[in-house]
Structure 1
Amino acid sequence: MILLGLVLLIIGLAVGVSLLTTIGGVLVLIGALLWILGATGRAVGGRRHYF
């Protein structure tokens, strides 16, 4: 999810489409949050790891 967000963020910035930039930023934040919670050993949504 973080990689997809980064790709959308870069494409959005390069092309100048603010919608892609916004979606990319949100995906990066959600992916980072899930990664941090998974790394601490806390199960999120019934899953311990998100790949």
Structure 2
Amino acid sequence: MPIVLLTIFLKGPAWLKACVLLALAGLVVVGGIVASTAIRNATERTGNHHAHPTRTR
């Protein structure tokens, strides 16, 4: 599958390359947000004292 994408990327027009780059960037951003949210939820569930939103000090 990555080989096909690479072929499209190398032989395709500029707008197609831009679309591919935007799609990849969007996936990275969404993945990062989901991962950080999941990590935060996990730490709050386990009762980690660093991740309590109510206690500021």
TM-score by length of 2: 0.50
Aligned partner of 2:9 in structure 1 is: 12
State the structure with bigger RCO (CA 8 A, min sep 6), 1 or 2.
1
Of 22, 27, 31, 1:31 maps to 27
Structure 1: segments with no counterpart, 5+ residues: 43-51
The 2-side partners of 1:16 and 1:35 are apart by 26
TM-score by length of 1: 0.55
Percent identity of paired positions between Structure 1 and Structure 2: 15
Which has the larger helix fraction?
A: 2
Moved over 6 A (4+): none
- How many residues in Structure 1 have an aligned counterpart in Structure 2? 34
State the superposition RMSD in angstroms. 2.0
Asked which structure has the greater CA Rg, the reply is: 2
